[in-house]
Amino acid sequence: MKFTKMHGCGNDYIYVDGSKEQIPAKEKPELVKKLSDRHFGIGGDGVIFINPSREADFEMEMYNMDGTRAEMCGNGIRCVAKFVYDKGLTDQTSISIVSCGKVKYLELHVENGKVSTVKVNMGSPVLKAEEIPVLVTESGGEEVISDPIEVGGKVYEMTCVSMGNPHAVVFVDDVSDLELEKIGPLFEKHVRFPKRINTEFVKVLDQDTIEMRVWERGTGETLACGTGACASVVACILNGLTREQVTVKLLGGNLQIRWDRKENLVYMTGPASTVFEGEI
C-alpha cells in the first residue's frame, strides 16, 4: 500500500489514495491502529483515506489513532486539499470535500506549483447541547456556555461547541503546566458526553490571540486541532473574551480563525505540509 505522511501544524496523519488502494471497510480499524503506531508502524495521529465522491470533489474518510471513525479534522482536510492538488488529482484552487456527509469548501493558496496554505469554510458552529451532543444539567438551557463540570474532583467551566465533531472548551490561567495526560481522559469519557469529547484548554493572551492545548478523543494530546481551534474561538467570542478574527497558538504552529457572525460561518486558514511518501 502506498501512503503519504502529512501534517498541519504538527497534527500528522497517514494519507492513502482510496481510489487506488482498495481496502475492505471491516479491515480498516485494525489497519489504522497498526499504521498509526509510532514504534511499530508509520506513526501518526490517525489515517485519512481520500476517496472519490458524488457529493463533492473528494471524500475524506478519517480515522483516529485507536481505529475509531471521526467526523471531521480541520488540519486533516487542509492536507487532503494539498494531496489532491499536488498529485494532479485536480487543477482547481477552489474545491469541495465531504466527510461523514458534511461538505466543506476550500480555497487553496499555491506557491511554486504546490499548495502552501488552505482556507476552509468550516460551516456554522453548532451550539445546541443535544446536537453536539452534551448532556445538560437540570438547571441548564439548550446551550452549554460557561457551564460548571466536575472532573477529577475539580470544578471547571466549559463552553461546548460542535464543528462537525464535539468540543468542550475550558479557559485556564496557564496551558504549560497542565497535566493533560491525567485530566484529558477524564474529560473525554465523562458521563455528560455520550460520544466522548475533544477538550481544548485555552489561555486568552489578548483580544486577538489565544493559546491552546488539546486532548482529542481516540488519540490523546495532539500538536494541533483545527476544529478545536475553531470551537475555541467561538467559545471565546460567546464569552466576550476576543474579537471575531483570532490567532490561535498551538504546540505545532498557528492557525487564523474568523467567525463571521453575520454569515454565521467559521473560516480557518493554516498550512499543510508533506513529510514523506512510502510503501508498506
Catalytic (active site) residue 236: no
> 98 with 56: CB under 8 angstroms?
yes
Name which of 65, 71, 73, 72 is nearest 47 in CA terms: 65
Name which of 59, 57, 46, 48 is nearest 16 in CA terms: 48
Query: Could you say which of 73, 79, 230, 236 is catalytic?
Result: 73
Catalytic (active site) residue 100: no
- Rounded CA-CA distance 41/226 in Å is 25
The three-state (H, E, C) secondary structure of 108-176, written as one string: EEEECCEEEEEEEECCCCECEHHHCCCCCCCCCCCECCCEEEEECCEEEEEEEEECCCEEEEEECCCCC
- Rounded CA-CA distance 34/148 in Å is 38
- Rounded CA-CA distance 214/18 in Å is 29
Query: Could you say which of 9, 79, 160, 225 is catalytic?
Result: 225
Virtual torsion, Cα 228, 231, 237, 243, nearest 10 deg: 50
Q: Where in the sequence numbering do the catalytic residues fall?
A: 73, 225
